[in-house]
Amino acid sequence: MKKVLLALTAAFMIFNFSSCTKKEGTKKATRTITDHNGREVVIPSELNRIVIGSILPLASVYCMYMGSTDKLVGMHPSSMAAAKNSYLATVYPEVTKIDSSFVQNGVVNVEELLKLKPDVVFYSATNDAERQIYESAGIPAVGFSTTLSGYNSVETYADWISLLGQIFGDTGRASQIIEEGRKVQNDILARVEKLDESQKPRVLILFNYDDANMTAAGSNFFSEYWIGTAGGINVAKDFKGQGKINMEQVYQWNPDMIFITNFSPRLAEDLLENKIAGTDWSLVKAVKEGKVYKFPLGMYRWFPPASDTPLVLQWLATKIQPQLFSDIDMDKKITEYYKKYYGVDLTAQDLQAIYNPARAASGK
């Protein structure tokens, strides 16, 4: 009997040790990275399922950095609206099949998120409420900042690439675009610095303009960088970030030029042809002189940082200071850029689609 008990005990110990070894063997290896909040985040060493939340341009940057949509299983609906109406969907058609149901009415739905089984989620570093949702669900959350470089779009893009490098390693696909952006920026600044204030047009960027709201893009925002770098004066500089405005404010500013972002469903012709019920844009100087423009949409919306940032700078410079930058042929610049960095040959039809994005690109 004693021998039987000893045998059973030995068998149990072997089974128990084997079970523990198996459990330890299946435990995922991890490593620690530092995100743009300065927070140390423990992530799996092997990442196979990525979700990108409130840092909206990052989905397109991720595709460029990785050279595919591989491992990207979830992206924000606003990012998806841009993707479906951008050239990104032409280069990476599978992007339109990525799930975006985990955000509903602008809010993360944890139940839907967990269905995606993410290894990590990327989010806007200022969105602390969203971070807490992810962490409460037990999902590592990495914050990407839009403010780390003072809203300088070229350097913010570089910040994102640096953090992606921490996470995935250097893919060798993005450093050239950063250098291109710095080169373009330096060239534009060198020309613009010779201007005095009287030579700079007064510019209004309508960030969000729909039936419910009209907001202007002010200082402490990418608008400050774009307008200042390209040789203009931001009429909404007294606003921090975005400011809600009405037509009386627009009349008071009476801007020389108006740009409309792709976060808004409004198009330039809506203002130029005075199509919006209950408003009269015909009284505004920019409308009278035909200087109302919709931001283009290439790989992503041309307002926040993205892989097209060098082109955005050049396009704005040719609009805001057309005589100073008359040597820049945007058709040629865009075509050459897309060939060099994305390996695609744009047609005349492709160019027109980039210059004339659809209302649906706003996601509204």
The full set of domain ranges for the chain reads 30-145, 177-326
pTM: 0.89
Sign for the pseudo-dihedral over CA of 148, 151, 153, 155: negative
Using a pLDDT cut of 70, give the percent of the chain over it: 93
pLDDT score at 170: 87
The reported pLDDT for the residue numbered 26 is 55
- Rg (C-alpha) for the chain, rounded Å, is 25
- The string of DSSP codes covering 271-310 is HHTT-STT--GGGSHHHHTT-EEEPPBSSSBSSS--TTHH
Angle between helices 153-168 and 309-320 (to 10 degrees): 170
CATH code assigned to 177-326: 3.40.50.1980
Mean pLDDT, rounded, of the chain: 92
Cα separation of 278 and 276, whole Å? 6
Name 262's Cβ contacts closer than 8 Å, sequence gap at least 6. Answer: 82, 294, 295, 297, 301, 302, 303, 357, 361, 362
Tell me the per-residue pLDDT of 123-166, one tens digit each, with 9 for 90 and over.
Answer: 999 999 999 999 999 999 999 999 999 999 999 999 999 999 99
- For 211-260, what is each residue's pLDDT tens digit? 999 999 999 999 999 999 999 999 999 999 999 999 999 999 999 999 99
Strands lying side by side in the sheet with 120-124:
72-75, 50-52, 120-124, 141-144
Decide the pairing of beta strands 292-294 and 257-260. Answer: parallel
pLDDT in tens, 225-238: 999 999 999 999 99
**At which residue do the structure tokens 């995100």 appear?**
35
**For the residues of 120-134, what is the DSSP string, one character each?**
EEEEETT-HHHHHHH
pLDDT tier, 363 (very low <50, low <70, confident <90, very high otherwise): confident
Judge whether 189 and 226 are in contact, CB under 8 Å.
no
* End-to-end Cα, the chain, rounded Å: 78
> Fold match between 30-145 and 177-326?
yes
User: Which pLDDT belongs to residue 118?
Assistant: 98
Label residue 6 by pLDDT band (50, 70, 90).
very low
Distance between CA atoms of residues 138 and 150, nearest Å = 32
- What kind of fold does domain 30-145 have according to CATH? Rossmann fold (3.40.50)
Burial 222-250 (b: 16+ CB within 10 A, else e): bbbbbbbbbbbebbbbebeebbebeeeeb
Nearest-angstrom CA–CA distance, 247 and 254: 10
